[in-house]
A and B are shown apart, each in its own frame.
Chain A
Amino acid sequence: MLKDFFGKKVKVINLGIASFADDLRQQGVETIHTDWRPPAGGNKKIQALLDKVANWQNKVQNKKGAR
């Protein structure tokens, strides 16, 4: 069905929800599943805190590099 829609053989990379990949495989579609999740589970406050740590560490690495 999927092949008819696209007019050629379809290969799929699935991100996130594994059952989407399972459904495609059941239809005979070649599928690779990637267990991807949004950083910090999409929690903006946590992401902002992680960004502060990353910024700090970038500065630390730059200072070390400048030595």
Chain B
Amino acid sequence: MLIDIQQANASAIAAIQASQPVLKGIDTAIDVVPGMEKNLILHAGPPITWEKMSGPLRGAVMGALIYEGLAKTPEEAEKLAASDKIEYAPWHEHDGVGPMAGVGTASMPVWILEDQKSGRKTFCTLNEGLGKVLRYGAYSEEVITRLKWMETVLAPVLKAAIPLAPEINLKNMIAQALQMGDEVHNRNKAATSLLIRELAPAIVKTSFAETDKARVLEFMHSNDHFFLNLSMPAAKMMLQAAEWIEGSTIVTTMCRNGTDFGIRIAGLKDRWFTAPAQIVKGLLFPGFTEEDCNPDIGDSAITETCGLGGFSMAAAPAIVKFVGGTVNDAMNFTRKMYEITDGESQAFQIPNMEFRGSPLGINLLKVCEKNLLPQINTGIAHKKAGVGQVGAGLVNPPMKCFEDALEAYVEKYCKDE
């Protein structure tokens, strides 16, 4: 095969750079997510069965079954979840992403993003806030009540507001947020504020009750992570543009389901390379210890895969107060990531590195050769279903994912060398 890896990777990175994710609207998952079914539960990370799911993912599945009206109690939900009546699939195989447990079901409202260039769409549910929330595996009555409010008030108000607002180019908004101290994985304060600034006048113009409009604005205002569920599908969209480029060694997916970490490579179509997810090291909320922590979970590492999150920590020094470490560490994480990437983002620039573009396009070969793993910052879920978030910190993928991917790459392209 006459494939020049450097050229294939340059094509992959050019495709990522050219992608322009814009906010198109909100709709119900069953109506817009490709392949969505009433008995299908989409989840974060690589494929997994109920038997192998960790506590927070199980908790989120149980909560989702109660939310959908398919079970009345947690016990009923657990029994149903383990039966063959329910099917599971990764969000990543349905053009979407989900933070933490990342559970998405038929009735949930989802953001719809569209690539201005290709017309291709990506999807993500709306962010519930921090603490006891479904994505961290909590399924109590307050969690379900909030999800129902999001379905019946938040989503309809935002759906009506989006066409009344100026078009929101999420790539531009993320670029601006990086200039304001976000890295849009664990710090979304500026991006959320920018989003509110664009949507608030349009929300006021809708014909919903004043109390509903006020509550929607208060909900967005009270949740610094509201934008995360837009930065993630935006990153997913940009990386989808590099799927699947023959011969390319660029990583297009990094994600975790709470049990396994999974990666995918541009030149190895549809293949998952998985290994056990690691324990996150970081700052825990008062009263919790490392014993309480679930292994790494969530699709949010799509931000790092796209040069954001841990790769852009130099742009977000304040984040170390949330995930641990020092400002110098944050600078060094970004510097190191240039060693394993092939490009620099044209859109995402880091002010205190002389506006250098963030490290973009993780090259499988460089990760293996330098034995240097991608740096991820992330939230930490309690290992038991129903508890919720216990902290935030720093983590790396297991090297085995990359070693297995390299082996598969050689097998496909150059085994006889």
Contact = CB atoms under 8 A, between A and B. Distances in A.
Q: Do A and B come from one complex?
A: yes
A52 B415 contact: yes
B5 A53 contact: yes
Contacts of B414: 52-53, 55-56
Interface string B374-417: 00000000000000000000000001000100110110011101
B209 interface: no
A61 B3 CA distance: 9
Contact of B406 (A38, A39, A41, A49): A49
Interface string A20-61: 000000000000000001111101011001111101110111
Nearest to B415: A52
Given A60-B4, A64-B2, A50 B371 contact: no
A65 B409 CA distance: 24
A22 to B, nearest CB: 15
A54 B368 CA distance: 13
Contacts of B410: 49, 52-53
Given A39-B369, A40-B371, A49 B407 contact: yes
A33 B204 CA distance: 59
Contacts of A50: 365, 368-369, 406
Contacts of A37: 370-372
A52 B365 contact: no
Contacts, number: 54
B370 to A, nearest CB: 7
Q: State the majority secondary structure of interface residues on A.
A: helix
Chain A interface size, under 10 / 10 to 19 / 20 to 34 / 35 or more: 20 to 34
A46 B368 contact: yes
A59 B290 CA distance: 50
Given A39-B369, A50-B406, A60 B415 contact: no
B5 A43 contact: no
A39 to B, nearest CB: 6
Contacts of A3: none
A10 to B, nearest CB: 28
Given A53-B410, A56-B413, A56-B414, A41 B371 contact: yes
Nearest to A59: B417
Nearest to A58: B417
B4 A46 contact: no
A8 interface: no
B329 to A, nearest CB: 14
A55 to B, nearest CB: 4
A55 B407 CA distance: 15
A53 B4 contact: no
B4 A40 contact: no
A55 B192 CA distance: 49
Interface in B1-21: 2-5
A60 B415 CA distance: 15
A61 B2 CA distance: 9
A39 B415 CA distance: 20
A57 B247 CA distance: 11
Given A60-B3, A63-B2, A53 B365 contact: yes
Interface in B259-313: none
B417 A55 contact: yes
Nearest to B406: A49
B417 A61 contact: no
Nearest to A46: B368
A60 B2 contact: yes
Task: Give 5 closest A-B pairs by Cβ, nearest first.
Answer: A41-B371, A56-B414, A52-B417, A55-B417, A56-B417
Interface of A: 37-41, 43, 45-46, 49-53, 55-57, 59-61, 63-64
Given A38-B371, A57-B4, 4 more contacts: A41-B399, A46-B406, A49-B406, A53-B5
14 contacts: A39-B369, A40-B368, A43-B403, A45-B403, A46-B368, A46-B406, A49-B368, A49-B407, A50-B365, A50-B368, A52-B415, A53-B413, A56-B414, A61-B4
